[in-house]
Amino acid sequence: MTQTKKKPDLSDLEFEKALQRLEEIVRTLEANKTTLSESLQLFEEGVKLTAHCNALLDKAEQQVSMLVKGEDGTMKPAPMLPL
């Protein structure tokens, strides 16, 4: 089964990918073809994914940078003060 992938490291999983994986898990559960223990694993993974997504959403401050032309003429991002 494709569902039993090795445990992914969630910390730098992209939001979109996490959402996709979540939906895949739901579809798999809906298909109702997994054993109970597989379902439990999927559920556990799903709960972790939602926590990961929520953590991303919980980031309070948006990171805003402004590109500034450096001495060598290239544009470099610099933190931008709140407007």
Contact between 7 and other proteins per CB under 8 A: no
76 binds other proteins (CB under 8 A): no
Contact 56, 36 (CB under 8 A): no
Q: Which of 6, 9, 3 is nearest to 25 (CA)?
A: 3
Whole-angstrom distance, CA of residue 37 vs CA of residue 3: 12
- Under rule CB under 8 A, residue 26 binds other proteins: yes
| Contact track, other proteins, 34-63, x by CB under 8 A | x-x--xx-xx--xx--x--xx-xx-xxxxx
Interacting residues toward other proteins by CB under 8 A: 14-16, 19, 22-23, 25-26, 29-30, 32, 34, 36, 39-40, 42-43, 46-47, 50, 53-54, 56-57, 59-67, 75, 77, 80, 83
